[in-house]
Structure 1
């Protein structure tokens, strides 16, 4: 080390020829002649040498230079040793501080990794629950096809009612309400299903972001953990030039933490939206199932009431038909009696007219308008009038019989129509409605 320290030292004295030595002038004493002669005799030798003081000064200079060099070398060695120790301690402190900061960084990475794992589990579980709700919505939507088919089939069947039975009654009004309700429910379920699918997609996007962030943190944790395990005795350490530069695209601790925070916040927001949507789906499925079953009960009640009304009307019509048939029989007997009564008047008419005819042959003055003649004429008039009354009554009876026959036919037709209506409502509609889905099925459960 001392060989590298540059020390300013005087040049060593060199042997030079006498003629090149400087001539030192010596002043002679002012009052001695011997000194002058002696100086002349030795002048050549004296000028070729250093003075004793110069020799001594040169020795002192050499001694001082050697001492100075040794002292500088010792000081340099001490400083170098102290510097090496300080640098070693500094290097150890720096390495320890870096290791400590790596440990702190590992704690930060582990914290955010754990938070990401927790949020990933929560989002995954929530997405699974939302998928179940989606399946329930799809099942409920498929289940509404059966009520819609039943309701429309009931309406089409009731179009086959005949005559006056083709009426817009309470059952038909409730059926139309049911069809409209089912259409609205289907539209609501379709919109909710689309919203659920969109929410599932957003949940999966948020989960993908979390998983990518988690994967990066796992890799960064492994790298930092490996870096934290490096020490001076590690065998796989080596020089990496230009590794100490900062990358242009490197993030700051604040932006790094904010990135994970934003991902978690977005996932939590989507998870809360998913929870709210699941609650909405539960309410929707419960409401629509109850509404559909309630409307189904209303339709069934309307059908039952209508069937009772038709059955009562049919029973009354049958009673009237029986009475009409009895009256038709009585009227037929009455017509027969009237005809017989008219026929029975023929003989008295013949007798009265024969009497009048024979008495018209009385001679001369015997052709008298006696009381007998007046009575016979009156009898013929009474018989003719009776016959006319009987014929008039006969006409009325025959017209009444025709009316009764028309009424019978109308009653029989009405009874047939009502029987057809009862068959449609009871055997077709109400039997078909027994296949109406239950509340559990309409709620989306299998």
Structure 2
């Protein structure tokens, strides 16, 4: 027969009693090996490959020990498994609660910054609307300066139509030139301020856009974290996302996250304060320019009124002189007529005297005597001739005086007409036109 097969058992356990495998019995070991050994041909088929009784008992004990060890190990494993399950459950619960708590804290931070961003957006929007109103004021004020400029230039052009000596560079013209220069400077200042205002509005809107973008991101993040905070183990819309447990490349840190919103709010506050200061500057500029324009307008009006008074006074004096000159012309014309009559009146006496002398020149011989009569007649002719010469000289002087008076009259009338024209220009063209000068409220852009 072949060698007997080994009994198959579990691997030896490391516990209390080590397992022992039964020894292998060979054909040779079965022969005459103990007290009960037999020999002979009659028992040959019953004596081969047999375990001893002690070996059999040992094998049973080994199996018992092995079963006991396996049960003990299984009990320990079950106990450890229950403890591990309970521990992992508690740890998972603690981790979930801690994550939920941190989500709550994160939501508080998000709510705080979102509220700050909302507040700053509201304040910046209100400030931008107010600055837009100031921009409209500037535009209205700039447009309102067109009328004063038109009035001042029209006054200067009208005053260029003064005639002769009235075309003088007087105080009114100096004030008008100052007014034109002032209006130009005011317009330049308002234009520069308007450009600065438009730029500040753009900066405000840029800052507001960044705030709104940040606010929108935080609203979206708030909604996401709110939804995450509502998830629990019984939620029906949870599922596995194996690749989600990682940090993205473009993630920020809590410090950089808070700093980003802080910088946006800081920049918005800075632009808002710049806008507030600009509004204060705009109001001051509009008030100052309006007061300067009205003050210069009053100065021009005063200069024009004073000039009108001066021209009116001179015109009255010229009219008085003209009246006296006309009277004097009439008197001088009468005087000339009287002188001519006086000269004519001397003709008859001259004729008488000369006729007497002529007739006496025909006295005969010795009768042609230089008697006192002859001397007196000759003296009379001389006196009459001298009188006529004197009267003619006076007549010539009177006629020259009359011509001078006529020239004076014409000059006076011309001067009076020029001054009347000047008064018409000053009063009807300039001063009446200046009544349309805008008031302070319009110059400050409120109307």
TM-score by length of 1: 0.91
The equivalent residue for 1:305 is: 306
Alignment RMSD = 2.3
Moved more, 345-354 or 321-330: 345-354
The equivalent residue for 1:258 is: 259
The equivalent residue for 1:318 is: 319
CA separation of 1:312/1:8 partners in 2, compared to 1, >3 Å: closer, same or farther? farther
Distance between the aligned counterparts of 2:74 and 2:231, measured in 1?
38
The equivalent residue for 1:96 is: 97
Shift of 1:359: 2.0
CA separation of 1:358/1:234 partners in 2, compared to 1, >3 Å: closer, same or farther? same
CA separation of 1:83/1:387 partners in 2, compared to 1, >3 Å: closer, same or farther? same
* Equivalent pair of 1:143/1:441 in contact (CA under 8 Å): yes
Secondary structure at the counterpart of residue 284 of structure 2:
helix
1:344 aligns with 2:323: no
Q: How does 1:365-376 map to 2 (within 5 A)?
A: 365-376=366-377
Distance between the aligned counterparts of 1:433 and 1:67, measured in 2?
124
* Equivalent pair of 1:21/1:48 in contact (CA under 8 Å): no
Shift of 1:250: 1.5
Distance between the aligned counterparts of 1:136 and 1:260, measured in 2?
34
1:209 aligns with 2:210: yes
Secondary structure at the counterpart of residue 317 of structure 1:
helix
Shift of 1:41: 4.8
The equivalent residue for 1:193 is: 194
- What do residues 70-94 of structure 1 show as CA deviations (whole Å, max 9, x unaligned)? 1111111111110111100110011
Distance between the aligned counterparts of 2:246 and 2:309, measured in 1?
94
The equivalent residue for 1:145 is: 146
- What do residues 401-432 of structure 1 show as CA deviations (whole Å, max 9, x unaligned)? 00100110110111111111111111111111
* Equivalent pair of 1:126/1:275 in contact (CA under 8 Å): yes
Q: How does 1:16-415 map to 2 (within 5 A)?
A: 19-20=26-27, 22=29, 41=39, 48-50=49-51, 54-415=55-416
Distance between the aligned counterparts of 1:48 and 1:353, measured in 2?
222
* Equivalent pair of 2:32/2:38 in contact (CA under 8 Å): no
Distance between the aligned counterparts of 1:170 and 1:20, measured in 2?
155
Shift of 1:268: 0.8
* Equivalent pair of 1:137/1:189 in contact (CA under 8 Å): yes
* Equivalent pair of 1:102/1:224 in contact (CA under 8 Å): yes
CA separation of 1:77/1:149 partners in 2, compared to 1, >3 Å: closer, same or farther? same
* Equivalent pair of 1:7/1:69 in contact (CA under 8 Å): no
TM-score by length of 2: 0.91
Distance between the aligned counterparts of 1:328 and 1:91, measured in 2?
131
Aligned pairs, number: 430
- What do residues 86-121 of structure 1 show as CA deviations (whole Å, max 9, x unaligned)? 100110011011101100110111011000000000
Moved more, 47-56 or 373-382: 47-56
Distance between the aligned counterparts of 1:25 and 1:179, measured in 2?
150
The equivalent residue for 1:442 is: 443
Distance between the aligned counterparts of 1:254 and 1:51, measured in 2?
82
Secondary structure at the counterpart of residue 233 of structure 1:
coil
Shift of 1:56: 4.5
The equivalent residue for 1:3 is: none
Moved more, 343-352 or 127-136: 343-352
Distance between the aligned counterparts of 1:95 and 1:41, measured in 2?
80
Secondary structure at the counterpart of residue 250 of structure 1:
coil
* Equivalent pair of 2:127/2:275 in contact (CA under 8 Å): yes
Shift of 1:8: 4.3
Shift of 1:287: 0.5
CA separation of 1:321/1:48 partners in 2, compared to 1, >3 Å: closer, same or farther? same
Distance between the aligned counterparts of 2:312 and 2:351, measured in 1?
58
Could you list the structure 1 runs, at least 4 aligned residues long, displaced by more than 3 angstroms after superposition: 6-14, 18-27, 38-60
Secondary structure at the counterpart of residue 242 of structure 1:
helix
Distance between the aligned counterparts of 1:295 and 1:266, measured in 2?
42
Secondary structure at the counterpart of residue 432 of structure 2:
helix
Secondary structure at the counterpart of residue 240 of structure 2:
coil
Distance between the aligned counterparts of 2:279 and 2:387, measured in 1?
94
The equivalent residue for 2:4 is: none
Shift of 1:364: 2.3
Distance between the aligned counterparts of 1:350 and 1:177, measured in 2?
78
Secondary structure at the counterpart of residue 93 of structure 1:
helix
The equivalent residue for 1:31 is: none
CA separation of 1:8/1:245 partners in 2, compared to 1, >3 Å: closer, same or farther? farther
